[in-house]
Chain A
Amino acid sequence: MGTILSGILIGAAFGFVLERAGFGNPNKLTGQFRLTDWSVFKVMFTAIVFAAVGLMVLEKLGLVDAGSLFVPPAFLGAAALGGALVGAGFAIGGYCPGTSVVGLMSGRIDAGIFLVGLLLGTILFAGIYPSIEVLTTLGEFAKADSLPDALSISDLYINIGMVIAAVGIFVLGSWMEKKFKGPVNSQV
């Protein structure tokens, strides 16, 4: 498939599903951090587990070559620091980068402001890059890039563990949501 066509079609499906889930709504998104709405955990965990198990099955069937998949390098300090900053930005701003596009397309001005901030943050990073370049390769774990390799166990066991964790998230999340009058709906 051509770059343009595959990009637009995959992107459109991505954006459609995010909006369907309510992920253009900052009240719903940040409800995860207030522990009153567990949709972010539920949707993300389900998608991760589905894709991880799907990739494992397709690899075993010989339909996908594991070596051709992009696995991000294990700069764990950089990932931890970046994750902390994106998490703080999400909690304060109400969006992550992708969901701010969804928010903007559903008419939310605050999502547009968040996107302006995103560009400013990128300019700031690029502007001081020479002095902070070291942060981007912080804490390299040299032994492995993936969890199965790091623990020397089959991806099957990791995936079984993730399925169990996902079920746990649904049970715990739904219980907490009931305590807090249910998840945020589309009319808030």
Chain B
Amino acid sequence: MDMQVEQRKPAPYMNPLLAGILLGIVLLATFVITGHGLGATGFTTRLTAWMGMYVAPVATNANDYLGGMVEDGKPLSAWITWQVIGLAFGALISASLAHRIQFKLDGAKFLGGSKRPWTALIGGILAGFGARVAAGCTSGLGLSGAAVLSLAGFTFLGTFFAVGLLVSRFLKEEK
């Protein structure tokens, strides 16, 4: 039978200390090479502007937040775009080498049970909105901001974990 790939057991995750050191090396190299840290929502914001250019060009051009990004007609032309494309490839390579690619709706056990699609959507909306308020996400402001010992980075991480802890109390585990 040709089911061998799917039957192969997923490899265990890496030791967190080792993963943390490797992530630290990547983060340090990013600062040395580019002068800034790692990120994610810089790209999704530009992607929003790019889609707006085609779906609603007039509204996007006139928008106070996205308008500046579409002025030159190339909102995706930025380092962060390539970094997120690389992020996707790197994750794909790692997951595939470790036999950890599985098509499934994950997280239902802890995050809403049958309402899992809704918790994923609402969580995404909150995170997308919040990252614009703070001008950064867990990677861009939390991780990278703390590495340069910035007050904004530490503040972000503080409320991020405090509110995360609090909110997760309200999600019931499905038995």
Say whether B139 faces chain A, with CB atoms less than 8 Å apart: yes
Say whether B95 faces chain A, with CB atoms less than 8 Å apart: yes
B149:A146 contact, CB within 8 angstroms: yes
Over the window 25-47 of chain A, the binary record of Cβ atoms lying under 8 Å from chain B Cβ atoms (1 yes, 0 no) is 11110101111001100111111
Shortest beta-carbon distance, A32 to chain B, in Å? 8
Report B-chain residues with C-beta under 8 Å of the C-beta of A52.
146-149
Q: A46-B21, A70-B37, A122-B44 are in contact. Are A106 and B152 (CB under 8 A)?
A: no
A98:B139 contact, CB within 8 angstroms: yes
Over the window 174-188 of chain A, the binary record of Cβ atoms lying under 8 Å from chain B Cβ atoms (1 yes, 0 no) is 000000000101110
Over the window 110-130 of chain B, the binary record of Cβ atoms lying under 8 Å from chain A Cβ atoms (1 yes, 0 no) is 111000110111111111111
Q: How large is the interface on B (under 10, 10 to 19, 20 to 34, 35 or more residues)?
A: 35 or more
B40:A87 contact, CB within 8 angstroms: no
Shortest beta-carbon distance, B40 to chain A, in Å? 4
Over the window 109-127 of chain A, the binary record of Cβ atoms lying under 8 Å from chain B Cβ atoms (1 yes, 0 no) is 1110111111111111111
B168:A42 contact, CB within 8 angstroms: no
How far is B129's CA from A103's CA once the two chains are assembled, in angstroms?
Answer: 20
Contact of A20 among B14, B87, B152 (CB under 8 A): B14
Contact of B82 among A4, A49, A85, A98 (CB under 8 A): A4
Contact of B27 among A11, A47, A125 (CB under 8 A): A47
Report A-chain residues with C-beta under 8 Å of the C-beta of B47.
119
B146:A106 contact, CB within 8 angstroms: no
Say whether A160 faces chain B, with CB atoms less than 8 Å apart: no
Say whether B3 faces chain A, with CB atoms less than 8 Å apart: no
Report A-chain residues with C-beta under 8 Å of the C-beta of B33.
1, 6, 10
Please give me the residue from chain B that is nearest to A4 by CB atom: B82
Total A-B Cβ pairs within 8 A: 525
The majority secondary structure among interface residues of chain B is helix
Report A-chain residues with C-beta under 8 Å of the C-beta of B61.
none
Report B-chain residues with C-beta under 8 Å of the C-beta of A105.
88, 91-92, 95, 101
Shortest beta-carbon distance, B73 to chain A, in Å? 18
B105:A108 contact, CB within 8 angstroms: yes
Over the window 92-107 of chain A, the binary record of Cβ atoms lying under 8 Å from chain B Cβ atoms (1 yes, 0 no) is 1111111111111111
B2-24 with Cβ < 8 A to chain A: 9-14, 16-17, 19-24
A-B contact pairs, 9 of them (CB 8 A): A8-B83, A16-B94, A18-B90, A19-B98, A82-B141, A88-B123, A89-B130, A91-B123, A159-B149
Identify the B interface with A (CB < 8 A).
9-14, 16-17, 19-41, 44-45, 47-48, 51-52, 63-66, 79-95, 98, 100-112, 116-117, 119-139, 141-143, 145-165, 167-168, 171
Given contacts A79-B141, A85-B130, A88-B163, 19 further A-B contacts (CB under 8 A): A8-B83, A10-B38, A11-B82, A13-B86, A17-B14, A19-B91, A39-B19, A46-B19, A48-B24, A52-B148, A70-B36, A83-B130, A89-B123, A90-B123, A92-B171, A102-B87, A110-B107, A113-B124, A141-B151
